[in-house]
């Protein structure tokens, strides 16, 4: 029995390589077009070395690192929503505005998480 797969990016290793290329193009676009992503990436690259000094265990480091990755994840999702919405229309639309606001809220939540996790780590260091 032959199974036909209707995937434009192929299957197997070639699909993985094409997906990896698309991911790098996404990072490149975020860096080039999204100032918030650039700012948050600088924040991550600044805090990442400090995470090794602040952590008390491997799990603690994973929490510090994960909170930083969450910020980048949220910003990429928010930027993708905004780019897609702007490609549809630049005029005000209630549902598009709602989608953009929700994307922004996701970024806000990630910043609350990183602030909470890193404040706790600093508190432990100074206590």
- Among all residues, which ones are annotated catalytic? 75
Which residues have a Cβ under 8 Å from the Cβ of 9 and sit 6 or more positions away?
Answer: 15, 18, 19
Q: For residue 10, give both structure tokens.
A: 């192929």
Which residues have a Cβ under 8 Å from the Cβ of 100 and sit 6 or more positions away?
Answer: 81, 82, 85
Q: Which helix (H) or strand (E) holds 32?
A: helix 12-33
Q: Which helix (H) or strand (E) holds 96?
A: helix 94-126
Burial profile 115-127: b = 16 or more Cβ within 10 angstroms, e = fewer = eebbeebeeeeee
Q: For residue 18, give both structure tokens.
A: 């094409």
């Amino acid at each position: 029995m032959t199974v036909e797969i209707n995937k434009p990016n192929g299957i197997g290793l070639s699909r993985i390589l094409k997906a990896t290329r698309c991911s790098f193009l996404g990072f490149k676009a975020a860096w080039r077009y999204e100032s918030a992503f650039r700012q948050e990436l600088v924040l991550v690259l600044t805090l990442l070395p400090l995470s090794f000094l602040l952590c008390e265990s491997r799990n603690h480091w994973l929490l510090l690192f994960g909170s930083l990755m969450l910020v980048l994840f949220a910003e990429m999702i928010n930027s993708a929503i905004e780019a897609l919405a702007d490609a549809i229309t630049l005029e005000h639309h209630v549902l598009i505005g709602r989608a953009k606001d929700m994307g922004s809220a996701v970024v806000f939540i990630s910043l609350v998480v990183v602030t909470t996790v890193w404040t706790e780590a600093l508190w432990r260091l100074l206590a």
